[in-house]
Amino acid sequence: MSDAKLQSVLSSLAEVYRQLDSLPSSPVPDAGCVKLNTNENPFALPAAVMQSALAALERQYLYPEDDNISLREAAAASYNLSTDQVIAGNGSSELLSLIYKAFLDPGDRVAMLSPGFAYNRKLALLQGARLLEIKWGESCLLPIHKLLFGPAKEAKFILLANPNNPTGTFVPIADIEGLVAQSDRLIVLDEAYVDFAPDSALRLINRYSNLLVLRTFSKSYAAAGIRVGFGFGHPQVIGRLRNIQNLFNMNVIGHAVGVSILANRAAYDENHRHIKFERERVRVALSQLGFSTTPSHANFLLARVPAGRDGTWWQTSLKRKKILVAVLPDESLEDCIRVSIGTKPQMDGFLAAVDDIIGAEMSRRSAV
């Protein structure tokens, strides 16, 4: 295709899509790398759940259930809700996208607590909406007054995650309820990491029609590649979202695994205990190595690196040792890395690599 033809094609895109750069191809990580950059849960599925996935493969020639009814029924029974209070999705990211489409017109505002999930910036852009990023209060307190009466007053809905990504901090549910009770707008609460935290806001669903809770099986149930997510809320809100959902948005394996996980949640208890134990062990070790770590209630740690280097330098140095960690785009987090919590051998490898890098830096400085 000539340049002239390409420009003609690109100019035909809707205005908002013209603002997006084309995505470059991303190389697949080396199979020998320890992957601690995307908050995955690296453990195998329980035997019963794995068997359900294999059995579903025998039905690959069938379309999946319309409206995910069996999965929604299983989730409703598991979480003590009615089926019409549940929407199931191809991961909670699909459901988040539906919320933007359902509630925002071009020019509308949406508020997000910042630092928060960066994907919201893209979703707002695609809807032609303005994303207002409201800073967390001191010690990550919920800034209720700013959300109700400050710049976010005109926002169509408010986004917050509890525990929060990328900080891992947790807000008491009483504070969440205080915001929901005082607001007449939709509050979207992302509980992707709640199984590693001390409490959940799901019990508030039947009290407040303006609360929508999102969950995923990617983090605590080791199913990131299978894509199972849920939204819980008032039947009228959930019904509107289901009405604009893609036909057959989930596959037969996702359905089967989702139902099986809900029936075998206790099988993950040891998994969750392990991650919480390793999270604390690694936090203490990093502190001893000169990092400043934020207490976390998720399956990752946000760590401010020792003075003299920034997060990107540490990410690159660790990658050379085949350890992958994340850096964040937020202005206040340039000196941080985010480290997912994996198996004990993975975390031992990470800590050994950090120790080696620090040793090499000390040797370099002493030689100058």
Region 178-195 average pLDDT: 96
Higher pLDDT among residues 10 and 220, named by residue: 220
Domain map (residue ranges) of the chain? 26-43+268-362, 47-263
**Sorting pLDDT into bands at 50, 70 and 90, what band is 363?**
confident
Asked if 299 and 272 touch (Cβ cutoff 8 Å), the reply is: no
Region 108-124 average pLDDT: 92
pLDDT digits over 284-338, tens only? 999 999 999 988 999 999 999 999 899 999 999 999 999 999 999 887 899 999 9
| pLDDT value, residue 1 | 44
Proportion of the chain above pLDDT 70, given as a percent: 95
Proportion of the chain above pLDDT 90, given as a percent: 79
Region 344-356 average pLDDT: 97
Asked if 223 and 257 touch (Cβ cutoff 8 Å), the reply is: yes
Fold of 47-263: Aspartate Aminotransferase; domain 2 (3.40.640)
Across the chain, mean pLDDT equals: 92
pLDDT digits over 3-36, tens only? 776 677 777 777 777 666 665 656 667 778 999 9
pLDDT digits over 137-149, tens only? 777 789 899 999 8
Angle CA 316–321–326, to nearest 5: 45
| pLDDT value, residue 28 | 65
Domain 26-43+268-362 has CATH 3.90.470.20: no
Q: Are strands 130-135 and 109-114 parallel, antiparallel or unpaired?
A: parallel
